[in-house]
A and B are shown apart, each in its own frame.
Chain A
């Protein structure tokens, strides 16, 4: 069957960006990396394109994480620059609130083991159990067990963070 990049792009682009975003936690970077994934797909014309793009996306994200650690050393000084003016509008507040919620999800995902996290993110990206199994090296029969554990841990970790946020808010009001 002829390789259909256009169809692949349209059907998986958003999931790939989302998948990458949850690995690099930078929207622009996630989109750049997704573009790179599809460029590679064009060059390789893979047989199982859907599974292939997520496998490549996972590899790219891993490389990105390594280089991010190197870059962080240079960015440390920039970290303390003011991020908002005193007259920040409601939109900015909403944005900050959203970012803090996203940070909670990130921290909740970080509590999972790398394998559990990978399975959960691949499932959420729309891959079927056999595709996830192929990519992670797990048996198809083990995907349900892994997902059950991953979901439970994610919820527990997220609930804990939510509770902490609420208690901080309550004490701030008091």
Chain B
């Protein structure tokens, strides 16, 4: 079960959110809530499925001539969360030149919808580029981090499934429940628990740290919440590879943007005689555009 300090998001608000009818502040609040609430994530997926199904039913009722006249893909993109994700993908695809742009909220851009047509080929190209040499991702002044290969995180898509005639949206997308067994601790305690090395964004105040213990001999997973100068929140998620990868899927499913994961140099945990080699993944999540969160990775430092 998930435990949420805040009340759950009402169903109608999800409809409004998916229809792009909420303000940026409201949208960000919902996205943040989704990050930690399994119940709301399930409801969100259910609403999304119901919305899509209703549209599919209505699409059956299009007069013949008009249907022929319609373009294969919509020319304009309604202001929806899906548009936001499409724009995010598009920004990722054209990303190289934009990576150093300042952090901005996503404004869905209808023109970017065209990129969806060429997405698979270009995405493959971007994936190849993700295996760039370490130097491209090395934060200045801090210990080295490298881009993890895309295969190590294998992003999965939350897809509602049809059971009989009903569409059921609650799909177990993660092996790790991001909403349970989390503790709020101070930065100092977190640093202690992390063995003196914990990732954070340089120059931004840390407003909260949450920790999930992963059992003896395994590094905990950390959520370091930091505040951007304009008051928005950004999370640095750090932990063992097998823990962070599913969390990243949850982040994307929640509608937040997640940066390309960075991989630390190996940690050796345990006694000196038999150390266990572990790799940490670090990713940044925020209600920002994909290029903005990727740009923020250059400010990551290991304490």
Contact = CB atoms under 8 A, between A and B. Distances in A.
Contacts of B19: 123, 129, 144, 147
B232 interface: no
B141 interface: no
Interface in B125-167: 165-166
B78 to A, nearest CB: 7
A123 B55 CA distance: 10
B57 A129 contact: no
A155 B58 CA distance: 10
Interface stretch (A1-9, A53-61, A70-78, A102-110): A102-110
Given A108-B57, A129-B21, A163 B64 contact: no
B15 A18 contact: no
Interface string A122-150: 01101011000000000010011101101
Chain A: interface secondary structure? helix
Interface in B164-218: 165-166
Interface stretch (B27-35, B46-54, B83-91, B279-287): B46-54
B165 A18 contact: no
Contacts of A101: 60
A24 B72 CA distance: 25
Contacts of B62: 18, 21
A155 B162 CA distance: 13
A21 B55 contact: no
A144 B15 contact: yes
Point out which of B21, B55, B60, B69 has the most chain A C-beta atoms below 10 A from its C-beta: B21
Given A128-B21, A145-B12, A102 B61 contact: yes
B97 interface: no
Interface residues of B, number: 28
Contacts of B53: 151, 155
Contacts of A14: 66, 69-70
A153 to B, nearest CB: 9
Contact of B78 (A17, A22, A126): A126
Question: Secondary structure of the B side of the interface?
Answer: helix
A21 to B, nearest CB: 5
A168 interface: no
B303 interface: no
Interface residues of A, number: 38
A18 B62 CA distance: 6
A69 B67 CA distance: 27
Contacts of B21: 128-129, 140, 143-144
Nearest to B63: A27
B287 to A, nearest CB: 20
Contacts of B16: 129, 143-144
Contacts of A21: 61-63, 66
Contacts of A109: 61
Contacts of A124: 55, 58
Interface in A48-105: 98, 101-102, 104-105
A132 B50 CA distance: 20
B66 A18 contact: yes
A156 to B, nearest CB: 10
B70 A155 contact: no
B13 interface: yes
A30 interface: yes
A27 B12 contact: no
B55 A105 contact: no
27 contacts: A14-B66, A14-B69, A17-B63, A18-B61, A18-B63, A21-B61, A22-B58, A27-B63, A98-B64, A105-B58, A109-B61, A120-B54, A121-B58, A123-B19, A124-B55, A124-B58, A128-B79, A140-B21, A144-B21, A145-B15, A150-B54, A151-B50, A151-B51, A154-B57, A155-B57, A159-B166, A163-B165
